[in-house]
Amino acid sequence: MQPAAGRSSDAPAASPGAPHDREALNPADRLQRAQHALLSRRRLSIRLRLVASLLLCFCLCCAFAAAAKDLLGRARGKLNLLQTIERLDDRILRVRAFEDEGILSGTDIDKVLEGARDAEDLFRKEAPALQAADREVLPALLAHLGTCRRLLTAVTTQGRERGGFGVLTPTQAGELRHAEAEANRLLEAMIRRERVSLSAIFRFAETGPLVLVGILLLLFAAITYCFAKALVNPIRRFEGYTSRIAVGDFSLIGPARRYRDEFSDLAVAVNQMLAALQEQQNRLVKGARLAVVGTMTSGIAHELNNPLNNISITAETLMEESTTLTDEDRWRLLQDIYFETERASEIVKSLLDFTRQEKREMVPLELGEIILSTLRLSQNEMNINNVTVAYDVPPDLPRIQGAANQLRQVFLNLFLNAIQAMPSGGVLGVSAAVRDQAGVCVEVHDEGAGIPAEILPRIFDPFFTTKEPGKGTGLGLSVSSSIIKKLGGDIQVASELGKGTTVHVCLPRAEEQ
């Protein structure tokens, strides 16, 4: 029934038949203590968790978008760089093409110089980009380009002096070619390297979204799992509470987790409701107790009027015959009055004992004593209905755990029902026996007409009665059942038409020290 059994320490704050110290607390204190236990935990609301989860997802998406933007920027930079390097490479190649002859004409010199300047300008302009791309190659490249410029400048100066022709010495030409070839080689190596890194960026850009989808999937699964747990488990638990409350167990809900959330607020509200229900139930039990006394009015009136009548007529005799009576007679009459007064006050006392509100303490009780005192209370009802008792309760019965007056109320209900079921007399059977290690069972049997099978399931319903108006409230069995369940026991009825009805009441045994 209860999910997540390990954590369901939401054991009712005071389970039926629970330790006495719990029972001894008054209901308001119990409620306050339960509410405090529920509310003193750290709050971690479902709303907060929902917002946090969504924020987490949002942040993740933002981070991915930023990463994608950065990646694109880097790709664009690489592409520009690649272009620059290619242009540079191209300029140098072009310059090299003019130099092939070894002798440069005037126009050639201009072109070579222009090409070299162009290359140098480009190089200067893109120096930061190149520097960022490759720090190690750059000085070498710079040195080679410097060499080219130095040589070309020298040739140009010479050429101008000579009137248009610039001639390189074989050493100079070799040096120039070597420098240019080295520059080309370095640039091409750079191009290759940049291409590789660019394709790596593209590869990363292809796999990135797939990775993100995977991560989001895992994240969603985790979030779903957490929320399912945070929502479904408490709902299951509350289902358990409702079925427990439905059978009359009004013990308060205690904390089940380390933190509190909206369900804790619900638990607090349910506890409020339980306290109110308990209050109502107590009032109902008390009302039903007074009502059962009401159904005994004929018996009580009879039982009280008989001694009163005896006192009245004896006193009348004393007054009327005061002169003729002997001392001995007078003594006998006074004694009658004395004992009849005792008898009347006994009746009043037993009624008061029964209706008195007792502390709802669970104490070990002798079942036999409870049954006998209740039988005494209903004795007169039995007398006037010609009902006799077959009493079979062993004196060595283990003690049971319960509240004396509530049990008296239950048994009085059962006895009166049995008596009323036998209007023309019969035998009321009362027996008890040990059921098992945990409980003791009492059987109350009558020889009445029995209860038809179709109404048997309804007899514990509140206000259900088969008695004529004014004779029964329909609360007797309903209240009896709720009392027995509250005491941690069980009540069942078996009936056979024409043979009679048997009520089984089982109660938990007291833990003997």
Partner 1 sequence: MPDNTSVMVLDDEPIVGDRLRPALAKGGFDVEIFTDSTAAIERLKQKAFGVLVTDMKMRGPSGMDVLRFVREHAPNTQVIVITGYATIETSHEANALGAYQFVAKPFKMKELVKLVEKASKLTAS
Residues 434-493 binding partner 1 (CB under 8 A) are none
Closest CA relative to residue 165, chosen from 120, 112, 118, 94: 112
List C-alpha distances in Å: 328 to 17, 317, 332.
59, 14, 6
Q: Does 422 bind partner 1 (CB under 8 A)?
A: no
Size of interface with partner 1, in residues (CB under 8 A)? 25
Shortest reach from residue 383's CB to partner 1, in Å: 6
Shortest reach from residue 344's CB to partner 1, in Å: 11
Q: Does 306 bind partner 1 (CB under 8 A)?
A: yes
Rounded CA separation 75/66 (Å): 14
* Cβ neighbours for 394, distance < 8 A, ≥ 6 positions apart: 368, 432, 433
* Cβ neighbours for 275, distance < 8 A, ≥ 6 positions apart: 27, 28, 31, 252
- Residue closer to partner 1 (CB basis): 317 or 431: 317
* CB contact at 8 A, 155 and 168: yes
Stretch that binds partner 1, among 87-95, 102-110, 253-261, 313-321 (CB under 8 A): 313-321
Shortest reach from residue 334's CB to partner 1, in Å: 13
Q: Does 2 bind partner 1 (CB under 8 A)?
A: no
Rounded CA separation 192/81 (Å): 12
- Residue closer to partner 1 (CB basis): 169 or 298: 298
Shortest reach from residue 317's CB to partner 1, in Å: 5
Rounded CA separation 505/490 (Å): 6
Q: Does 302 bind partner 1 (CB under 8 A)?
A: yes
Interface residue with partner 1 among 131, 305, 345, 492 (CB under 8 A) is 305
What's phi and psi for 388, nearest 5 deg? Answer: -110, 160
Give the number of other Cβ atoms within 10 Å of residue 214's Cβ. 10
Residues 255-274 binding partner 1 (CB under 8 A) are none
Which residue is listed with tokens 């007529």? 313
What's phi and psi for 125, nearest 5 deg? Answer: -60, -40
- Residue closer to partner 1 (CB basis): 324 or 513: 324
Residues 333-362 binding partner 1 (CB under 8 A) are 336, 340
Shortest reach from residue 330's CB to partner 1, in Å: 13
Rounded CA separation 225/53 (Å): 12
- Residue closer to partner 1 (CB basis): 10 or 336: 336
Rounded CA separation 480/460 (Å): 8
Interface residue with partner 1 among 110, 188, 320, 511 (CB under 8 A) is 320
- Residue closer to partner 1 (CB basis): 255 or 426: 426
Q: Does 419 bind partner 1 (CB under 8 A)?
A: no
Residues 375-414 binding partner 1 (CB under 8 A) are 383-384, 386
Which residue is listed with tokens 């790709």? 75
- Residue closer to partner 1 (CB basis): 53 or 317: 317
Interface residue with partner 1 among 301, 334, 348, 438 (CB under 8 A) is 301
- According to DSSP, the residues that pair with 167 across neighbouring strands are 103
* CB contact at 8 A, 419 and 428: yes
* CB contact at 8 A, 271 and 35: yes
- According to DSSP, the residues that pair with 401 across neighbouring strands are 364
- Residue closer to partner 1 (CB basis): 66 or 384: 384
Shortest reach from residue 465's CB to partner 1, in Å: 20
Q: 232 in helix, strand or coil?
A: helix
Stretch that binds partner 1, among 53-61, 181-189, 235-243, 317-325 (CB under 8 A): 317-325
Shortest reach from residue 309's CB to partner 1, in Å: 4
Residues contributing to the site for partner 1 (CB under 8 A): 297-299, 301-306, 308-314, 316-317, 320-321, 336, 340, 383-384, 386
